[in-house]
Amino acid sequence: MSLELYDTWTRSQREFAPLTPGEIGLYTCGPTVYDYQHIGNYRTFLFEDGLKRVLRLNGYRVNHVMNITDVGHLVSDADDGEDKMEKGSRRTGKSAWDIASLYTDSFVGDLKSLGIEFPSTLCKATDNIPEQIDFIQKIEDKGYTYRTSDGIYFDTSKQPDYGYLGRLDIAGLQAGARVDLGEKKNPTDYALWKFSAAEDHRQMEWDSPWGRGFPGWHIECSAMAHKYLGAYFDIHCGGEDHITVHHPNEISQTEAAYGTRLANFWMHGYFLITNDAKMSKSSGEFLRVQLLVDKGYDPIAYRYLCLTAHYRSQLVFSWDALDAAQTALDRMRVNSIALGDAAARPDADFVARFMAMLNDDLNFPQALALAYELLKSDLAPGVKKATLLKFDEAFGLGLGAWVPKTVEVPDNVRAVADLRWAARDTKNWAEADRLRGELSVLGWTMKDGKDSYTLAKT
């Protein structure tokens, strides 16, 4: 089956064909590094990682560009309020530059622990200020901008098709703009360049043809996508929240400057949600990858959990769901080890069914179910293993590299276990049960095999 992907632009699943044979240009909106990323953010990055893997399994090389937003993302999407970086700086007492570097490092570490492949290019907004100024200049030359007292704005009314990606009801928005527009001409207009206020001492600011200040958030993506991938490339991704504001704005900028809608396919990952406020970075126990580790989970179990839901539906996070994912992952790892060495070739029929599922708009939940069907099948162990490892090129669970952790058993625990094994040998069941209880108090469980036993920590 040829590869089909859901394109938010057309609101339909359609056949994917690369713009340049063999090579895919992929841009994914990256993190805003004013705080740690939460596991919701990583659901989107995991979806994008899955997409990359599927593209590669289809024989494409993927040139993947991701930005790091380290300036310009304001607390409010209405282009007012504080810059998130400056706010983060006040919160932590560190400089805006230091927190950008701290949270970028943390992001990179989380990518590794979640098995997310590194982008071909990871580019910072602050490293590309001249490119953003040039881009704004181009938009200005084409007549799409106006100046207010606080910045240079994009006039969205100049583009009849502005907001098509989000199917925005522009007339309705205009009519319902009860909020004070200030000096903005239209509710959907947005800042390309913001001036540093005279009374402000911004840590991040640059000179520009319009005055000292900093770039708006949306321009960084248009400018860096253009720099690394050109004015029109294959796929642009982000979270579902970007469908109505950030991505329509990226499109409007590139359309104004270069006459293209930036990408051939627009793909969006749906949110991870919770029934309480835990996803929010302002709440006490906010859901970071490190919190999962602190609670004894393997970050890969979170990756597994994300595979169980289609990227185009929201996923409700719960600790029970993560427990179940950890258990399923552990079982899959043990099964994989038990299969021994891989045969030279995977099973062609299973691989064909697997690819058909993934090529049907990345149906990972179905593909995961197929892995269980594979494990239960009567194929030879070596062929099963080779097929499972092939599947894992898409899952990214690292099954091939996984080795069971060996745990040191303390002498006193080993002694009780030996006594219980001896009691069992002489059919002294009461004593064997008593010793099992003793082991349990010590925090261990004993599993009886035919000729020997194993011990596990509880």
Binding site for Zn ion (CB under 5 A): 29, 221
Binds ligand AMP (CB under 6 A): choice among 26, 29, 46, 368: 29
Nearest approach, Cβ of residue 250 and ligand AMP (Å): 12
Q: Choosing among Zn ion, ligand AMP, none, which partner's interface includes residue 31 (Cβ < 5 to 8 Å by kind)? A: ligand AMP
Residue range at the interface with ligand AMP (CB under 6 A); choices 25-33, 168-176, 200-208, 339-347: 25-33
Q: Return the amino acid letter for 151.
A: G
Residues 194/235/116/216 CA torsion (nearest 10 deg)? 0
Nearest approach, Cβ of residue 226 and ligand AMP (Å): 19
Nearest approach, Cβ of residue 111 and ligand AMP (Å): 12
Are residues 34 and 94 in contact, defined by beta-carbon separation less than 8 angstroms?
no
**Region 255-294 residues binding ligand AMP, contact defined as CB under 6 A:** 269, 271-272, 279
Q: Choosing among ligand AMP, Zn ion, none, which partner's interface includes residue 32 (Cβ < 5 to 8 Å by kind)? A: ligand AMP
Place of tokens 């200005």: 140
Are residues 447 and 439 in contact, defined by beta-carbon separation less than 8 angstroms?
no
Q: Which is nearer to ligand AMP, 233 or 444 (CB)?
A: 233
Q: Which is nearer to ligand AMP, 315 or 446 (CB)?
A: 315
Q: Which is nearer to ligand AMP, 44 or 264 (CB)?
A: 44
Q: Choosing among Zn ion, ligand AMP, none, which partner's interface includes residue 239 (Cβ < 5 to 8 Å by kind)? A: ligand AMP
Q: Is 32 in the site for ligand AMP (CB under 6 A)?
A: yes
Nearest approach, Cβ of residue 153 and ligand AMP (Å): 22
The pair of structure tokens assigned to 151 is: 């910045």
Q: Which is nearer to ligand AMP, 113 or 244 (CB)?
A: 244
Q: Return the amino acid letter for 252.
A: S
**Region 227-256 residues binding ligand AMP, contact defined as CB under 6 A:** 238-239, 241-242
Position with the least CB separation from ligand AMP: 239
Place of tokens 């007339």: 171
Q: Is 41 in the site for ligand AMP (CB under 6 A)?
A: yes
Q: Which is nearer to ligand AMP, 33 or 386 (CB)?
A: 33
Residue range at the interface with ligand AMP (CB under 6 A); choices 37-45, 162-170, 248-256, 280-288: 37-45
Binds ligand AMP (CB under 6 A): choice among 18, 40, 213, 396: 40
Count Cβ atoms below 10 Å from residue 306 Cβ, excluding itself. 25
Q: What is the 3-state secondary structure (H, E, C) of the chain?
A: CCCEEEECCCCEEEECCCCECCEEEEEECCCECCCCCCHHHHHHHHHHHHHHHHHHHCCCEEEEEEEEECCCCECCCCCCCCEHHHHHHHHHCCCHHHHHHHHHHHHHHHHHHCCCCCCCEEEEHHHHHHHHHHHHHHHHHCCCEEECCCEEEECHHHCCCCCCCCCCCHHHHHHCCCCCCCCCCCCCCEEEEEECCCCCCCCCCECCCCCCEEECHHHHHHHHHHHHHCCEEEEEEEEHHHHCCHHHHHHHHHHHHHCCCEEEEEEEECCEECCCCCCCCCCCCCCCHHHHHHCCCCHHHHHHHHHCCCCCCCEECCHHHHHHHHHHHHHHHHHHHHCCCCCCCCCHHHHHHHHHHHCECCCHHHHHHHHHHHHHCCCCHHHHHHHHHHHHHHHCCCHHHCCCCCCCCCHHHHHHHHHHHHHHHCCCHHHHHHHHHHHHHCCEEEEECCCCEEEEEC
Q: Which is nearer to ligand AMP, 29 or 96 (CB)?
A: 29
**Region 63-92 residues binding ligand AMP, contact defined as CB under 6 A:** 69
Nearest approach, Cβ of residue 389 and ligand AMP (Å): 29
Q: Which is nearer to ligand AMP, 32 or 63 (CB)?
A: 32
Distance CA 164, CA 169 (A): 9
- Its sign, for the CA torsion 155, 194, 174, 267, is positive
Q: Choosing among Zn ion, ligand AMP, none, which partner's interface includes residue 279 (Cβ < 5 to 8 Å by kind)? A: ligand AMP
Q: Choosing among Zn ion, ligand AMP, none, which partner's interface includes residue 253 (Cβ < 5 to 8 Å by kind)? A: none
Nearest approach, Cβ of residue 136 and Zn ion (Å): 16
Q: Choosing among ligand AMP, Zn ion, none, which partner's interface includes residue 24 (Cβ < 5 to 8 Å by kind)? A: none
Nearest approach, Cβ of residue 8 and Zn ion (Å): 14
Q: How many residues bind ligand AMP (CB under 6 A)?
A: 17
Q: Which is nearer to ligand AMP, 125 or 423 (CB)?
A: 125
Nearest approach, Cβ of residue 145 and Zn ion (Å): 20
Residue range at the interface with ligand AMP (CB under 6 A); choices 1-9, 29-37, 131-139, 386-394: 29-37
User: Could you list the residues that contact ligand AMP (CB under 6 A)?
Assistant: 29, 31-32, 37, 40-41, 43-44, 69, 238-239, 241-242, 269, 271-272, 279
